[in-house]
Amino acid sequence: MKPMQIITGALAVLVGGLGVYALLRSHRPEDSGEEAAAPTVVSVQVGALKLMTMHEYVASYGTVMPAPAAAGEPAADAPLAAPTAGVVADVNVVEGQQVAKGDLLMTLNSSAITAAYAAQELERQKSLYAQQNASLKSLQDAETQLALLTVTSPLAGTVTRVGVKPGAAVDLSTVVVEVMDLGRLVVSIGIPEAKAAALKVGETVQVLTQPPVAATLSYVSPTVDASDGTVLARATLPANCGLRPGQFVPLLVVTRSEADCLAAPEESVVTDIDGRSAVALVNGEQAVQAPVRTGLRKKGWVQVSGPGLKAGDTVVTVGAYGLPDKTRIRVVAPAVESPPGNTPPGPDR
């Protein structure tokens, strides 16, 4: 074969190959624009707006203590001093013992008379008075004499302290026994002056113990403690709450409550660097940005308001951050979580 024929054949094969390559390339999807035209679909998770009661709190600390005296009710704590100077004759109770109002706790002997003799003399005067052989004054004097030598409980409760033993010398300043009604406890709270104006008697106080205890705000002082700038408040604890006098506890005081608030899942509310917030409403297969104003917060929920928003509207939760307006979305189910343990739920925040 001549060289010229070989060269001509090679050129023909090359040209044919280039033509096939060009034909195949003309039918590739990226050249036709098919892939460029395909819309982006983002996988998201969703939740719903709902109506709920929201609260605003002041965080503080308080000390558990017996309730002070109130209208028609004595103080829940009674440290009892000796009614006269003398020597302890008998102690009728032990610490931890339950007593009723009027129960005899302790007897004393004075330098002039013993409790036993005073009791006998009172019975004699009662008998004489019944026979009209003694005056009312004589009977009353005998009652007073015995009262000075006995210590009785002014309330029903628990003996929390016995300070003396038989044979101990006492005077009017000696606290001999203490009785406390452990079913009537309060938490004493110091609230900063600037936040005290929002406090309302009757609002809820959440004591953050384990388990949490719900108390009721029962007193707000009209004065400010000049030493630390706080206002004294007290919250009444429920009976048998498990707390002890002297216990120092963290707590949340409700300062504002709003019922029937429209609330969104916290993760659905996105706020930009300028402080503007929005939620992504699900509209068919699209997520449409809706501006919102935010308010109170409660355990993963945020109070929201905005044009056209209503309870039951579906919003994007997981995937909401940085989601452009009118993005096509595909809703996926959240991962299945393990069943919760026995840890009690935390308080509203």
Q: Where are the domains of the chain?
A: 41-54+259-331, 56-67+183-257, 79-180
Q: What CATH number should be reported for the domain whose range is 79-180? A: 2.40.50.100
CATH architecture of 56-67+183-257: Beta Barrel (2.40)
Surface-to-core class of residue 288, CB atoms within 10 Å of its CB (0-12 exposed, 13-18 middle, 19+ buried): middle
CA–CA gap between residue 290 and residue 309 (Å, rounded): 9
Same fold, 41-54+259-331 and 56-67+183-257: no
**CA angle (212, 218, 221) in 5-degree steps:** 120
β pairing state of 327-331 and 41-44: parallel
CB 31 within 8 A of CB 24: no
Task: Return the structure tokens found at 262.
Answer: 């429209």
Strand partners for 291: 278
pLDDT score recorded for residue 137: 92
Task: Return the structure tokens found at 92.
Answer: 């009728």
pLDDT score recorded for residue 7: 52
pLDDT score recorded for residue 71: 81
Three-state secondary structure call for residue 56? strand
Task: Return the structure tokens found at 234.
Answer: 């007290």
Helices (H), the chain: 3-26, 29-32, 34-37, 115-130, 136-147, 193-196
- Written as tens digits, the pLDDT of the chain (349 aa) is 455 555 555 545 454 554 445 444 555 555 444 455 556 889 999 999 999 998 888 889 999 999 999 888 889 999 999 999 999 999 999 999 999 999 999 999 998 899 999 999 999 989 998 998 889 999 998 999 999 999 999 999 999 999 999 999 999 999 999 999 999 999 999 998 988 888 889 988 999 999 999 999 999 999 999 999 999 999 999 998 999 999 999 999 888 888 899 999 999 999 988 889 999 999 999 999 999 999 888 889 999 999 999 999 999 999 998 889 999 999 998 755 545 444 444 444 4
Q: What CATH number should be reported for the domain whose range is 41-54+259-331? A: 2.40.420.20
pLDDT score recorded for residue 342: 44
Strand partners for 50: 263
